[in-house]
Amino acid sequence: MSITLILGGARSGKSTLAQEMADERGGNVLFVATAEAGDEEMAARIAAHQQARPDHWTTLEATTGLGPKVTKALTDQQTVVIDCITLLVNNLFQQRNWPEDADLMDRAVREETAGLIAAMDGATADFIIVSNEVGLGIVPGDPLSRIYRDVLGRANQLLAARADTVYLLVAGLSVTLKG
């Protein structure tokens, strides 16, 4: 069992790399989609991602509570692709009606991340996780955006600490950060 974390900005090639890595490993793949189609533009993005995935992959749509849901869905898959932690954290914010409570959101994201790590530690499959790196830009102008940036950064840190390999993607090019 190995864990690979792929970080990068929007449209940097993270999902493409994750899919290529899963294809190269061969075997059965469980694709965990965390996106929700809240509007037409997001629905179009989700449809494009669905078209890009091989038909024989198993898809699990899970917006939160990934750990137990992945554990339950895993049958004979050798690889699990989770795309993406960024939207998972967004979903946690949405469930709590966007509170401007940094401690509450930090606890919720830490619990979600711990549950996912526990599921990965109990599995025999390889995991490839996609997440955005949102801490490289300017400081967000409002408190809620700063809380989001901070808690996503902490989730990425927890996953990177557990991962065997970590890549950073920029303009479709990967840099190995770990492993």
Tokens 């997001």 correspond to 42
DSSP state of 175: E
Collect contacts of 103-107 with beta carbons under 8 A, ≥24 apart.
105/147, 105/148, 105/151, 106/150, 106/151, 106/154
Query: Position 92: which residue type?
Result: L
* Cross-strand pairs, 5: 129, 166
> How far is it, in rounded angstroms, from Cα 165 to Cα 67?
20
> How far is it, in rounded angstroms, from Cα 147 to Cα 132?
15
Please confirm, yes or no, whether 56 is among the known catalytic residues.
no
Tokens 């790590």 correspond to 117
Structure tokens at 3: 């864990």
Of 149, 98, 92, nearest to 115 by C-alpha is 92
Which residue in 2, 46, 49, 59 is the catalytic one? 49
What 3-state DSSP class applies to 162? helix
Catalytic residues: 49
